[in-house]
Structure 1
Amino acid sequence: MGRVEDKVRRVDVLIVGGGPVGLVLAYQLAKFGHSSSIAIIEKHAKSSQDQYGRAITLYPRSTEMLDQLDLADELAQECFACRETVSYDKDGNEVQGRGWYFMENMKDTQWDFALVLRQKYQEEIFRRRLREEGVSLEAPVELVSLTVDENIPSGGHRITALLKDGVTGEEETVTCKYLIGADGGRSFVRRALEIPFEGSTTEDKWVRIDGIVETDVPKSRVYGAFESPTHGNVLWAALDHGATRIGFAFTAERQKGYSEFNEAAAVAEAIESVKPFKLKFTQVDWFTVYSVGQRVAKEFFTKDCILLAGDACHTHSSGAAQGMNTGMHDAVNLAWKLSMVLRGLAPSSLLSTYESERLPNVQKLINYDKDISRLMTMQLPVDWSGDPNADPNEILGTVMEEASTFTSGLSIAFDSNNVNVPGTFKSNIDPAPVMPGQRGPDVQLQKPGTFEATRLHKETPNIARFHAIVFAGEPEHTSVYLKEFSAAWEKSKMFSGVSPISWLTVPAKSSPSAYELLGVAPFGKVFYDKEQTAHSRYGINVKEGAIFVMRPDGWVGTAAALGGDAVEELELYFKNVLLMK
């Protein structure tokens, strides 16, 4: 091998961008067994880049996903857990049901609050946990060019990337099978591939400022809104470590008062924005002024080997605090699919479902964001057909409430495809409370023996494996179905070697012995649903039972009626998703 070739580094995956999305992607791939075959680079030296600002809020579904990756508990240790909200009108009077009020009604989840932790602290946790998995962020290292050799078959080292060390200036060539651009709104990866970034940037400018404050605001440690006649719908967010974020519209009229917008200007405008209340900053951690707009990349997956995630493929305002959350959804949707492809468990076509599942949800967010960002700037939506004199603050409350389950992430769902397949299971509730393509609710369960409380999400961690849950109902009624299924499964040769499926059995009562209760050997671990709340939440008749297949990321893949025929149904499902031997 020649000297030039000796300098070429070969990895399976190169992740470009060391923000939360890139870090969580890398962490998952490392956790799923790829630590020796991935690299993650960031062009900024993170020690100097770690400002306090940027994203702050994780909504319940994002936290659930991080919980299944064993990251949420650590975030919760440092966060400000926000369950209360308030809105004040222009005179400082509290008004009900407006602004962020929907946050008080985020139910059906253990994580029923906004987890507020500034990006600086989140990234510190993600970087450390990534190092513990054997991978370190390489920074400052910049991607300066990339080429794709389409003559090399898909799945080969088709991509050649030229990297430059930001300290020494030395260059290095890396070849990889897949490259992920998680490098922000000005993504080099997206621009290098000339992927259109469609949308618009408005003339509206917003300010965000974080720091330690003294104030006479009656409810100051909440997620709040001030309906200011001069600064729009002002954000007031209690932050971690005793800090506060204030965000407001910086109108053209207000801009005229400053030849330069500096920290003093940001402080002065923040003080004006919360009148009639008083405000004093004892410490400023960070501030920014930025233009509001919405853009979406035309493709999230191109050339069968390049993927975009986070701000690299969609940008929007921070009006609904969705930036970090949307990126987390991208990272979690993509990582298990990429891992299964790399391990030879799934065809590369599985990666196309990343774009087909995420893009419609991003577009839905953009549509909400267009309305929310205008209303926060005291303008009615572009296509508004109601009263032209309507109060934007009142309309904003309505729009935020309408978008609430989507904003919390709990209602984010995917259309039918190879991974989301309607099965033979029919709920006794109409409409069925849980369908394939929807989030699998995190129901309460009990461990055998101790009857210790646990949760479904704790027992179905995201380890890039599917989880098949046998809801066994009341065995005195379902034993015949359980025995039929057990016998058929014994004969099945669906998986040889290591199976990419973990099993759980959940009977709708408890017993001193799971084996005696069921009348057959349990499938995987057993957890009791003595109060039958889990069966009820999934819409399962306890006299019939059901089998739910959970995707690695916690969405329902399919659901079958309990019985012998379910084995053939599961075989067909997995043959369409995985490469079966």
Structure 2
Amino acid sequence: MPESLATKPLESQVDVLIVGAGPTGLLTALALTRAGVSTRVVDITIVYCPGQADGIHPHTLEVLQSYGIADRVFKEGTPGYAFVSWNPSSDGGIMRTALTPFIPIPTARYPFSVAFAQPRLEGCLRDGMKECGAEVEQGVTPIILEISDDKAILQSPTAYPVKAVGLSEVVDSAAASQVIGTESEVVRAKFVVGADGAHSWVRQALGIDMIGESTNSVWGVVDFVPETDFPDIRTFSTINSPHGSTVFVPREDGLVRVYVQLAEVDVDETGRLDKSKFTPDDIIKVAQKLFHPYKLVPKVIDWWTLYVVGQRVASSYSVKNRVLIAGDACHTHSPKGGQGMNAGLGDAHNLAWKLAYVLRQWAPVSFLDTYDAERRKFAEELTDFDKYCVKMFATKVKADDDETEGVTRGELATAYATRAGFLSGIGVQYQPSTIINISNPSLASNLVIGERLPPGVVLRVASFCPLELHDVLPSDTKFKILILPGDINDPKQKAKLDAIAARLDQPEGFLKRFTPPDAPEDAVFDIITISTQMIPPRLLSHWEKAYIDAESFCGRVGGKLYAAYGVSNDGAIIVCRPDGYIGMIAALDGVDAVGAYFSGFLCARPDA
């Protein structure tokens, strides 16, 4: 158990203080503790009170797999492979009009989403933290944050410019502001991450504005065990009935989740509504009308809530690159696309490795500018996506030849297909920057620089065992340098590959220049060669990292990676960032271009 504050020193230091122990804060903590970063996680709730997010989308599944914690999700969760559309029938009821793949994207490693309750995911993340000796301090919160104005201190990676005042155990979360006293702890941190939800205290303490809008559109959501004759009760469904629209999600343990729009609901000037005036039966009654002529009776109601649709993004994700916010603290939207928890985990995955690089003095503090640039741009695109979803769900579905206002079934299907990349997370693309170099896209014509590296099967040379490439690219803070040399039976290709091997040993090569003097050779860069033939010894950092693109003996898989990536026999070098995104692509004889890429943001060793 975490040490009681009664026995803690009244002043302490930590590399990273994380405020908020939801999925975003916990994944940030897990990644940092595994990276050897001194981390504390505090949460204001006295008793662990999990949230109610549920869906985990394909790219988030890839992220969790990269941390080695997806197996429990697959074992305990409810996968959704299919998407069913129901629309108005001629008799005033509803009929099934389409059955499609849930994720119609060929490059999806996991072509499905998984319903896996937030408490269970948080349990996985907390268990992972415990393995690293870290736990959440429940019922603990800061009251004041102070950031130094000294520019030299702010730029020093060894300084502690943030002071969290009043870090104390609270008796009443609602009265947390009363805990400051002579026994309050003061924590001096190098960085603070605010992952404390939509009503983030950290964000408000820093004076960061939320930019966007709210509406008077009120939706209800209820989890229950149903008694029903609806044939798609265990399939993700959207229902567009003559009376309105609903989203229907199968969950674990026989539960289903239903979203419905409520009519004639008063919202006050602050954008809030009085939940006490409603019951879950109000939501069920609307759902029953939408499901007509099918029966829908709740046997057990597990949870319910109401929410006002609004889309907002924080004006900044950091203050002086020393206090940063993530998750719902910096973007809010409706749950229509199931993006909330997925977006927050994406924030954590993007931020953690960058913090580790700055703390290790491998990159300057200004490197954290890329977190704001990449994730705030994503959040702006997310709110636009959410507005579109809300509009589509609120629009009447009409026949193709109907000239009245509304949307046709074909338009709905097209809208879903064209936005599946964003919905799944697979199509998220970061824009050109110091860590996204979009030169040379033709060298791997089927890859998109700035998107996540697609999966593929390779064979380990030592055993000819087929492996998923993603599984040899874990989230371990290392850049993965994928060398695809093409046909090394060609003397020109063999010469280029030998030149790479020689360059790696030279002081001016990126491997020597950016690897710290006392660190292992693979501390920063993992060199992975994927050939169609055997590989030169210098490019074999370990026999387990030698792979070929060939078909396996058993299972008949593999042998398609070059073709899938669009890499010709001329070969290519693919730089995969620690978060799995493609940072750049270089020609096989462009190893110096790779060095130039890293010189744009990494700190060279002192003797380089």
Q: TM-score, normalised by structure 1?
A: 0.89
SS of the residue corresponding to residue 143 of structure 2 reads strand
Does the CA-based 8 Å contact 1:56-1:116 persist in structure 2? yes
Say which of 289, 293, 296 aligns to 1:279.
Answer: 296
Q: Among residues 58, 63, 66, which one is paired with 1:65 in the alignment? A: 63
Cα gap change, 1:425 to 1:227, in 2 (>3 Å): closer
In 2: Cα distance, 1:243 partner to 1:371 partner: 28
Q: Residue 50 in 1 paired to residue 50 in 2?
A: yes
- Picking from 88, 105, 111, the partner of 2:86 is 88
1:445 maps to 2:462: no
1:538-571 Cα shifts (integer Å, max 9, x gaps): 2111x211111110000111111113xx332222
Match of 1:574 among 570, 579, 598: 598
* Residue 360 (structure 1) shift: 1.6
Equivalent residue of 1:111, what SS?
coil
Report whether the alignment pairs 1:130 with 2:142: no
Show the counterpart of 1:497. 518
Partner of 1:317: helix, strand, or coil? Answer: coil
- The CA deviation at 1:214 is 1.7
Counterparts of 1:447 and 1:523, CA distance in 2? 13
Question: Residues 318-357 of structure 1: matches in 2 within 5 Å?
Answer: 318-357=335-374
**Residue 44 of structure 1: CA displacement?**
1.4
Structure 1 residue aligned with 2:583: 557
The alpha carbon displacement at 1:4 in A equals 13
Q: CA–CA distance in 1 between the matches of 2:82 and 2:101?
A: 10
**Residue of structure 1 equivalent to 2:148:** 149
Whole-angstrom CA distance in 2 between matches of 1:64 and 1:331: 14
- Check the 8 A contact 1:508/1:535 in 2, yes or no: no
Paired residues of 1:106 and 1:113 also in contact (CA < 8 A): no
Q: 570, 573, 581: which one pairs with 1:544?
A: 570
For structure 1, list consecutive stretches of 5 or more residues without a partner in the other structure: 381-385
Q: Is the 8 A contact 2:312 2:333 kept in 1?
A: yes
State whether structure 2 residue 508 is matched by structure 1 residue 488: no
Aligned to 1:418: 434
Alignment match, 1:106: 105
Counterpart CA distance in 2 for 1:326 and 1:336 is 17
The letter for the 1-side match of 2:254 is G
Q: Please say if 1:462 is aligned against 2:482.
A: no
**2 CA distance for matches of 1:458 and 1:4?**
43
- 1:3-28 per-residue CA deviation (whole Å, 9 max, x = no partner) reads 99941121111111111111111111
- Structure 1 range deviating more: 390-399 or 87-96: 390-399
User: Residues of 1 paired with 2:29 and 2:148: CA distance?
Assistant: 24
How many residues are matched? 552
Report Cα offsets for 1:200-229 as digits up to 9, x if no partner.
111011111112222111121111111133
Q: TM-score, normalised by structure 2?
A: 0.86
Measured in 2, the distance between the counterparts of 1:393 and 1:291 equals 27
Rounded Cα–Cα distance in structure 2 between residues aligned with 1:365 and 1:281 = 33
Distance 1:424 1:374 in 2: 39
CA distance in 1, matches of 2:537, 2:465: 23
- Asked whether the 8 Å contact 2:250–2:256 carries over to 1, the reply is yes
Q: CA deviation at 1:460?
A: 0.8
Instruction: Note the 1:240-255 alignment, pairs <5 A.
Output: 240-252=252-264
Match of 1:22 in 2: 25
Contact 2:223-2:257 within 8 A present in 1 as well: yes
For 2:168 and 2:537, locate their aligned partners in 1 and report how far apart those are by CA, in whole Å: 63
**SS of alignment partner, residue 123 of structure 1:** helix
Cα distance, 1:80 vs structure 2: 0.4
Matched residue type, 1:160? K
1:522 is aligned to 2:524:
no
**For the residues of structure 2 that align with 1:79 and 1:133, how far apart are their CA atoms?**
25
Distance in 2 separating the partners of 1:297 and 1:150: 22
From 11, 15, 19, give the equivalent of 1:12. Answer: 15
Partners of 1:470 and 1:523 within 8 A in 2 = no
Corresponding letter in the other structure for 2:248: W
Deviations 1:22-61 (A, max 9, x none): 1111111011111xx21111111343x136xx21111111
The one-letter code sitting in structure 1 at the alignment partner of 2:331 is H
Farther off after superposition, 394-403 or 461-470: 394-403
Per-residue Cα deviation, 1:304-334 (whole angstroms, up to 9, x for no partner): 2111111111101111111111111111111
Distance 1:4 1:483, change over 3 A: closer
Give how far 1:253 is off.
7.0
User: What is the RMSD computed on CA atoms of the aligned residues?
Assistant: 2.6
Report whether the alignment pairs 1:235 with 2:250. Answer: no
Tell me, in whole angstroms, the C-alpha distance in 1 between the residues paired with 2:575 and 2:77. Answer: 33
Cα displacement string for residues 132-188 of structure 1 (whole angstroms, at most 9, x for unaligned residues) = 221101111223221112127114211111223123956322111111111111111
Partner of 1:208: 221
How far apart in 2 are the matches of 1:118 and 1:337?
A: 28
Provide the C-alpha distance between the structure 2 equivalents of 1:250 and 1:521, rounded to a whole number of angstroms.
62
Q: Which moved more, 1:298-307 or 1:397-406?
A: 397-406
The residue identity in structure 2 corresponding to 1:92 is: I
Letter in 2 for 1:44: T
Letter in 2 for 1:504: I
Cα distance, 1:239–1:9 mapped onto 2, change above 3 Å: same
- Counterpart secondary structure, 1:94: strand
Partner letter of residue 85 of structure 2?
Answer: S
Residue 240 of structure 1 and its aligned partner are, at CA, apart by 1.6
